[in-house]
Amino acid sequence: MEELKDFLNLSIHFSKDIVISVQDIIVLVVVLFIATIVLRLINKFITRNLPLPNKKKFNTVFSYGRYLIYVIILFIMLHSFGVPVTGVFAASAALLLGIGLALQTLFQDIISGVFILVDQTVHVGDIIELDGKIGRVDEIKLRTTRATTADNKVLVIPNHFYLTNSLYNWTQNGATTRENVTVGVAYGSDVQLVKKILLEVARNHPAVLETPEPAVLFTDFGESSLNFKVAFTINDSFNARFPQSDMRFEIDRLFREHKISIPFPQRDIHIISGSSEINS
């Protein structure tokens, strides 16, 4: 027992004030080992439900965080052993502050990317609307998300936009979405006939699903028209503009056939004439 105690008390003298014993080194190794196990458990808990590609991306970021934690633990342990690391802490803090200010947006993007991977609010293949831009997600990286618009243009979205803007995920609840086409008809039109035509147009389009059935809403009495909306369900909302265009063509044709007019805004102008006398 005495031999073990003597072995643990063996010391390395770096200077008059800095002495590190074998016991100190063993404590440092044990602390690092425990930290490694805890970090692995945390990593496993966070990535347990992530797909393999997202898990690899998260592990890359997590590895940098793990190294940073190791460095902090090392400094704390050295300080507890009597090694003066205050100057190193001060220099590191100033350096990190400067780097953080210079790369603030980059850090926001990376942190947001980690949140996206962990939270699973957006997946590859989802159709999203962000800041008025709509696209199908092709790839989620740590700094950016790449999406393709309906015009086949690549949309590169910095990930920090997810934290500062409202995100609409069109397909998170499933591939089918509820779309609509609006139209106004002249006052005095047969509203039941209008409803019948709109339902016929929606039901006859091949892209419209039978369930749930299309529905027609009489939305408002407008200034120049009676306003209607025909709502229908499709399974390709990314290309919804094409069936919507087809329906507008067909609605216009059937309205002409049944003598139903689509009015344009009208204004009545009243001209008041009068005489004026000029006194000289």
Question: What is the DSSP secondary-structure string of 70-94?
Answer: HHHHHHHHHHHTT---HHHHHHHHH
What pLDDT score does 64 carry?
Answer: 64
First to last CA, the chain: 129
Predicted TM-score of the model (pTM): 0.56
Edge-to-edge strands, sheet with 226-234: 177-185, 226-234, 215-221
The residue that leads in pLDDT, 52 or 41, is 41
Instruction: Give the right CATH number for 122-169 from 3.40.50.880, 2.60.40.1080, 3.30.565.10, 2.30.30.60.
Output: 2.30.30.60
Least confident residue range of 41-45, 66-70, 223-227, 237-241: 66-70
Measured distance CA(50)–CA(46) in Å, rounded: 8
> What pLDDT was estimated at residue 217?
96
pLDDT higher than threshold 70 for residue 161: yes
Mean pLDDT to the nearest integer, 136-146: 83
* Chain centre to alpha carbon of residue 152: 20
Q: What is the pLDDT of residues 9-45, one digit of tens each?
A: 656 655 555 666 677 778 878 888 888 888 888 888 8
pLDDT score at 188: 92
> Is the pLDDT higher at 182 or at 8?
182
The answer to whether the CB of 148 falls within 8 A of the CB of 101 is no
206 pLDDT tier (thresholds 50, 70, 90):
very high
**Distances in whole angstroms, Cα of residue 197 to Cα of each of 89, 207, 259, 273, 274:** 76, 17, 12, 47, 50
Q: Give the CA radius of gyration of the chain.
A: 34
pLDDT tens, residue by residue, 74-129: 777 777 766 666 655 565 666 666 666 656 777 777 777 777 777 777 888 888 88
More confident residue, 105 or 229: 229
Buried b / exposed e over 38-56, threshold 16 CB at 10 Å, is ebeeebeebbeebeeebbe
- Give the per-residue pLDDT at 280: 45
Residue 54 has pLDDT above 70, yes or no: no
Q: Where are the domains of the chain?
A: 15-102, 122-169, 177-257
Residues in the chain: 280
Residue 208: CB partners within 8 Å, gap ≥ 6?
202, 214, 232, 233, 234, 243
Please give the class, per CATH, of domain 177-257: alpha beta
pLDDT tier, 205 (very low <50, low <70, confident <90, very high otherwise) = very high
Q: Which helix (H) or strand (E) holds 6?
A: helix 2-8
The least confident of 14-18, 161-165, 168-172, 263-267 is 14-18
